[in-house]
Structure 1
């Protein structure tokens, strides 16, 4: 967040998609830094019951309830059903839908109310109809491309979902890099989707 120029003390809401280490392990460190900076205003955290029960357990491991003057943390548990409202504000609204992963997980759809643009995020998932419906007709679909395996998708499968959802642009994320890299994800996705395809990069900014 600091490298991206975001003051984390200005954060008001956090959505935790699922309880895997690469998506949830940083939460205790973030909350600790907020506390050390003297935060007083509440922080809202949204997620499935399965997810937030474990986030609370993780924080409990550090006895966070005993830290003096810890700011309020409010947990909002979401039902496991499609297009569940998560956040609604003048600039945008966010809905969540379950996706197919190894543990309960959600993808997200953001509707930008002033520009009338739309974006969907698959999160970690294997191809499923829920993601197709979540991303139906969006301007941007952000879809994982880990590789074809249980609970994950290949770049070609991400392209297939983009085609079925009839999205305008596809951004691939969560793809293998470094010594794990294999092939060209964009070329692979282009076999199943004929629209604009890009690899998402750290600190990339999308304008809506």
Structure 2
């Protein structure tokens, strides 16, 4: 499978080892901005990938200045020993289009060039009904696969079996939104509409709303209000200030506005169910 990173802070490669995530797998990174807590994992990770003889390209997307940053530490540390493809983002819109999903960048409100990201899966095929296919005389095998992918097929007797007769309507793909560091914005609110998961920064509690605004961050209640108004499935609060050794106080504030809220922590795993399993 493919690994998708949103930012790469210090300790990233250590957590990868603990999670048994290989350093040579297909990987894309989407960097929100060039503050140290979001990018200082890159030098060590790229060095480790080089030492482990990575041979696949590493694709990194991020704000203007990303290429210069990578070039700067590479000129001192050496490497990388594999291809690093860098895409610097200068405007909102789709930054990656793939066969299974797209990633869109949305301008964030933080210091310097900053981006939020939306990962949207393409619609998935509807549920295939083997019983209906058999009843219509379609033999099990390649024809079933073609029907599942929306293709009408011709049988040996000349009859045409339409995909819609044995396959339900397509299901919507998953949608995951990552805020990066930002004050609440209309652009992020619109982009998060209907998301399955919104990963939103919540640096401060509500008593520090003025400090949050000054530093271009969000409070926990502001993040929860975005989740509620956008109608997301789950809110994951992240980028919690170190002033909160116990983040439960933030969770208490958030659930008053948006009950389905959790606090991000290292090695947290979320299982995102599809509407219907085939």
For Structure 1 versus Structure 2, the TM-score category normalised by the shorter chain is: 0.7 to 0.9
Distance 1:183 1:6 in 2: 29
Tell me: CA distance 1:3–1:37, structure 2 relative to 1, closer, same or farther (3 Å).
same
The 5 Å alignment of 1:1-208 reads: 1-64=16-79, 70-81=81-92, 84-113=93-122, 114=124, 116-147=173-204, 148=209, 149=212, 150-177=215-242, 180-181=245-246, 184-191=249-256, 193-208=257-272
Distance 2:234 2:180 in 1: 16
Q: What is the aligned-residue RMSD (CA, Å)?
A: 2.1
- TM-score normalized by structure 2? 0.66
Query: What residue ranges of structure 1 are gaps of 5+ in the alignment?
Result: none
Distance 1:22 1:30 in 2: 14
| Structure 1 segments of 4+ aligned residues over 6 angstroms from their partners | none
- TM-score normalized by structure 1? 0.86
Tell me by how many angstroms 1:78 deviates.
1.6
Tell me by how many angstroms 1:181 deviates.
4.5
Tell me: CA distance 1:160–1:52, structure 2 relative to 1, closer, same or farther (3 Å).
farther
Tell me by how many angstroms 1:80 deviates.
2.7
Distance 1:29 1:139 in 2: 32
The C-alpha deviation readout for 1:57-92, integer Å capped at 9, x for no partner, is 33334344xx7xx212111122232xx223233332
Distance 1:182 1:168 in 2: 21
Contact kept, 8 Å, 1:141 with 1:162, in 2: the verdict is yes
SS at the partner of 1:9?
coil
The C-alpha deviation readout for 1:153-199, integer Å capped at 9, x for no partner, is 111110111122222221111113576546611221234x3341111
Distance 1:41 1:165 in 2: 37
Tell me: CA distance 1:85–1:62, structure 2 relative to 1, closer, same or farther (3 Å).
same
Contact kept, 8 Å, 1:146 with 1:174, in 2: the verdict is yes
